Structures are given as structure tokens and as C-alpha cells.
Amino acid sequence: MNITVIGTGYVGLVSGVCFSELGNNVICVDNNVEKVNMLTDGHVPIYEPGLKDIMNANMKAGRLSFTTNIQDAISRSDIIIIAVGTPSLPNGEANLSFIELVAREIGSYMDNYKIIMTKSTVPVGTNDRIQEWISSLTNHPFDMASVPEFLREGTAVQDTLYPDRIVIGTHSERAVATLKELHQPLTDQIIVTDIRSAEMIKYASNAFLATKISFINEISNICEKVGADVSRVAEGMGYDRRIGASFLKAGIGYGGSCFPKDTQALIQIAGNVDYDFKLLKSVVEVNKDQRFNVIRKLEDALGSLEGKEIAIWGLAFKPDTDDVRDAPAIEIIQRLLEQGAVIRAYDPIATENFRKEVDSPSITWEERAMKAAEGADALCVLTEWKEFMEVNLTDLAAHMNQPILIDGRNIYGEDQIKDTSFQYYSVGRPGLTNIDGRKTAVI
Ligand SMILES: NC(=O)c1ccc[n+]([C@@H]2O[C@H](COP(=O)([O-])OP(=O)(O)OC[C@H]3O[C@@H](n4cnc5c(N)ncnc54)[C@H](O)[C@@H]3O)[C@@H](O)[C@H]2O)c1
Ligand SMILES: O=c1ccn([C@@H]2O[C@H](COP(=O)(O)OP(=O)(O)O[C@H]3O[C@H](CO)[C@@H](O)[C@H](O)[C@H]3O)[C@@H](O)[C@H]2O)c(=O)[nH]1
């Protein structure tokens, strides 16, 4: 099939590459010239394991190309995929200005029948608006379909080539037949539904996963007070197939470009039809506060943070990505700076992006984890990068001014802690002991 993908962010780029991998001819369009030049030269602007090799192989095979010329791409394609961003407006609602612009461009340049497939996450009813925007500019026939994207950053290629399910929301039988054929090589689990339900499936899925995270984070806070171990609690819950083991990792709360934005947008979607989504509002509130447990634990260990040297390991919102959008590390570091702390920060790949969000003369950006910890009064682990798990903790304690470790992601087990002098704070695991028999600190 001949496909145009508009937008080469995570979703557009990964979908474009994967559809070409399935043998389709794919043109990826972006209005960012620099990005298109970079992609045309075979460079990937994001860090995504496995993506570069498949991209270059398909470019070489002549099935994948990049352009800023949207008109030419549209005229050469039967399926147009919209994958531009829908960031939050200040009131939490999704900003649809990129979507509207693209819809109007499609309407202006359409020259025969097309299927318009929206992969961007858009509020319920948006695909109907896209249809109107396009129809207002063309008499050529087309069918709309909402095919939401469920990939995760860091495992985007795998998630796209082996999805749990594909949701196709459309009112056109012709579109169902074509889009089923397009997605059949990926999975048999194809759910065909109406457009509004497809749009809601995306928000409901993200909101539900966010709810699991806030739920387990609240359980972890209670575990700290009653002397239970949240990792064992989550394990015990997870074996129940009705609950499932995933998304029950307690930590410093969810971040990233999707959960914070999409939970806020769903609260707004509900609010617009006079529904007060109380549960989701609490999920968001719990999430906003959870990150500051790191600060509370630092204060418990050190008292005032004024002038204290705090090492930070991990800036990305999760491992295997250089994305720092809504990363909990942003607000944690901002709060530490407000309290007069001096920061030594390290992330394997996200530092450059992070510095665009927060920078200050009180932050030193280190290129090695051990260097960041050297002479520090405390170390906070904010992202569970594999290299942090492999560190020798006895060595680490010896490098620091004070052996205080705030493990925001529960990456260390009792086996590693018990032979060290660390005053160790984890999330919801108050029973772990160090070499002096001292239990993990609780506040
Ligand atoms: N990032 C994820 O993991 C993920 C996963 C599932 C769904 N989504 C959803 O998919 C959508 C895209 O997310 P993303 O993270 O890929 O976005 P992004 O912001 O990283 O990328 C969007 C791209 O669209 C381009 N663009 C904007 N306007 C354009 C125009 N008029 N013409 C051509 N290109 C244009 C931008 O230059 C940019 O490269 C969002 O709605 C998001 O919620 C994202
Ligand atoms: O048990 C868990 C699982 C995740 N997280 C945090 O939750 C956030 C999001 O993680 P993840 O879902 O792995 O990353 P994303 O790439 O943001 O993917 C989510 O958002 C995408 C955009 O909508 C969806 O497509 C995906 O299905 C959905 O998982 C990160 O900060 C994680 O640290 C936890 O704290 N505990």
C-alpha cells in the first residue's frame, strides 16, 4: 500500500518505519526541515533502540523516504496517517492546532479517494471535526478512521511490530477492509468499532494505567508506615490474573509525554460534558505529590538542604529514552534548587534535553555516574537505568561524603544494601537492613 505519515515524532516515525518494514511504500512528512534533512541522511533524532537499523534498511530498499512536501506525498498515497502532536493547553485540554492545520492541508491537496487515519491521541469527537475541516476544502471522497497508538517509548519498535491489539474506529466498510489488511501482519487481535469509542479507548487505557501507578504509590506510602514491603505486595497482587503484574511498580510517579497530558485531557473531556471525573483527579493529585517524597526523605536524612551537595542519577522520565517531557526529575531538581541545594546530575543520554528544561549555575552536569556521586551528601536515583543497578554499592558509599541513598525506583535489593553502610531510603520497603542492622529509613 502507499502511505503518507504526517509528523515524524515517536509515533509518526516508528509507524512509518514499521509499515515500510511490512513491505508498504511509506513517505514521512514533517514541516521541520532540519528533522527531515537529518532523517534523509539516515540519522534518527530520538533515542529508540532498534529503530535506526530498520529505518536505514527500508530507505535503502526504496520503501521509505522523508520530505517536507506534503502535497506531493498526499497525491502519491492511498492512506494518510496523521501523527502530529496534541500537547496540553494551559487548562489541560489537548491543543488541536497542529491537527487542524494538517487536516486543512489534506483537504487542500487531496486529488482522489483517500483513507485518513488518525494516530495522534485526540479528544472524543475530534475525528468528526477533522472530517469537517477536510470536507470544507475538497469534493473528493475520503473515509476517516481513528487508529490510536499504544506504543511505549524505549520499546516502540517492538510494541509496533508486536502489538497487544489494534483498534480501528471507522464508519466505513471500505476503510475497515483496507485497514484490516494493513494491520493483519501485526496481529489477529483487531477490534473494529465506531470512531468515538476508538478515541475513548486510547484515553481510558492511559488513564487506567496511570490509576494503577498512583494506586500502588499510595499503597507504598502506607507500607512505609505499617512496615510492609510494597514490592512483595505488588508481586502478591500481580499473580491474580484479574489484576495483572504490570504497572504496579511504586516509585516517584509517572511522567512522560503521554500519561500526564492524557489524564488531564480526559478530565477536561469529562468536564466538558458536566462530568466530574473524581477518581482520575485523585490519580493526578497523588502523582503530583509522589515525586516530592524524594525531598521529604532528603530532609529527614539531612535536615536543611541549604548548601548540601545532592547527586542525581537519572533525568529521563524512564530508562531507554532521552525524552524528558514531564519527567519527575524536573520538579524534584527545581525544588532542590529552591531549597538551596547544589546539584550534581548524571543521565546516560538525556542530559542535553534536560538542560533545555532546567539549568542553573548550581547544577553541574556530569558525564559519569560515579563522578556525580563523588563527595555528595546524598544520592537520589530518579530513573532505573540498568547501569545504576550494576554499580558496586560499597565503592559508591566510599566515594560519597555521607552514605545516604534515596532510591526513588527501588532498584536495589536487600542483598545489595545489607553489606553497605548506606542510610537507605526506598519506596515502600521499610524492612530492608544495612550492615549495622539498621532498617531502611521511614519518615
Ligand atoms: N510519544 C509517544 O510515546 C506516544 C505514544 C502513543 C500516542 N502518542 C500520541 O501521538 C501524537 C504524536 O506524539 P509524538 O510524541 O510522536 O509527537 P511529537 O511532538 O514528538 O512529534 C510531532 C511531529 O509532528 C511534526 N509536525 C507538527 N505540525 C506539523 C505539520 N503541520 N506538518 C508536518 N509535520 C508537523 C513536528 O515537527 C514533530 O516532528 C500525540 O497525539 C501523542 O499523544 C504518543
Ligand atoms: O509500574 C510502573 C510503570 C510505569 N511507571 C512510570 O510511568 C511512566 C510511563 O511509562 P510507560 O507507560 O512505560 O511509558 P510511555 O512511553 O509514556 O507509554 C505510555 O504512554 C504512551 C502514549 O500514550 C502509550 O502509547 C503507552 O501505551 C503507555 O504505556 C514512566 O514515568 C514510568 O516510570 C511507573 O512509575 N510504574
The protein residue with its alpha carbon nearest to ligand 2, atom 30, reads: 254
Q: Buried b vs exposed e over 3-20: b needs ≥16 C-beta within 10 Å?
A: bbbbbbbbbbbbbbbbbb
Residues 6+ away with beta carbon under 8 Å from 391:
369, 370
Q: Is 258 a catalytic residue?
A: yes
The protein residue with its alpha carbon nearest to ligand 1, atom 7, reads: 149
Residue 440 lies in a domain: no
Q: pLDDT value at position 7?
A: 98
Q: 397-438: per-residue pLDDT in tens?
A: 999 999 999 999 999 998 899 889 999 999 999 878 777 777
Say how many Å lie between the CA of residue 90 and the centre of ligand 2: 22
- 389 with 297, same domain: the answer is yes
Residue 443 lies in a domain: no
- Which position has the grid cell 530508562? 319
Atom of ligand 1 nearest to the CA of 257: 1
Q: 34-92: per-residue pLDDT in tens?
A: 999 999 999 999 999 999 999 999 999 999 999 999 999 999 999 999 999 999 999 98
- Helical H runs in 41-194? 51-60, 70-75, 97-109, 126-135, 156-161, 173-183
- 284 with 365, same domain: the answer is no
- 264 with 312, same domain: the answer is no
Domain that holds residue 16: 2-193
**pLDDT of 439 over the 90 cut:** no
The protein residue with its alpha carbon nearest to ligand 2, atom 25, reads: 150
ipTM: 0.98
Q: 364-392: per-residue pLDDT in tens?
A: 999 999 999 999 999 999 999 999 999 99
Q: Is 15 in the pocket of ligand 1 (CB under 6 A)?
A: no
- 277 with 300, same domain: the answer is no
First to last CA, the chain: 59
What letter represents residue 359's amino acid? Answer: D
Angle at 324 between CA 319 and CA 330, to 5 degrees: 110
Domain CATH for 257? 3.40.50.720
Residue 108 lies in a domain: yes
Q: pLDDT value at position 412?
A: 96
Say how many Å lie between the CA of residue 414 and the centre of ligand 2: 26
Among 28, 223, 258, 380, the active-site one is 258
Q: What's the domain count of the chain?
A: 3
d(CA 13, CA 19): 10
Q: pLDDT value at position 442?
A: 67
Say how many Å lie between the CA of residue 406 and the centre of ligand 2: 22
Pocket test for ligand 1, best of 28, 84, 147, 264 (most atoms within 8 A of CB): 84
Q: 330-370: per-residue pLDDT in tens?
A: 999 999 999 999 999 999 999 999 999 999 999 999 999 99
- 219 with 344, same domain: the answer is no
- 21 with 87, same domain: the answer is yes
Q: pLDDT value at position 443?
A: 62
Q: Is 109 in the pocket of ligand 1 (CB under 6 A)?
A: no
What letter represents residue 256's amino acid? Answer: G
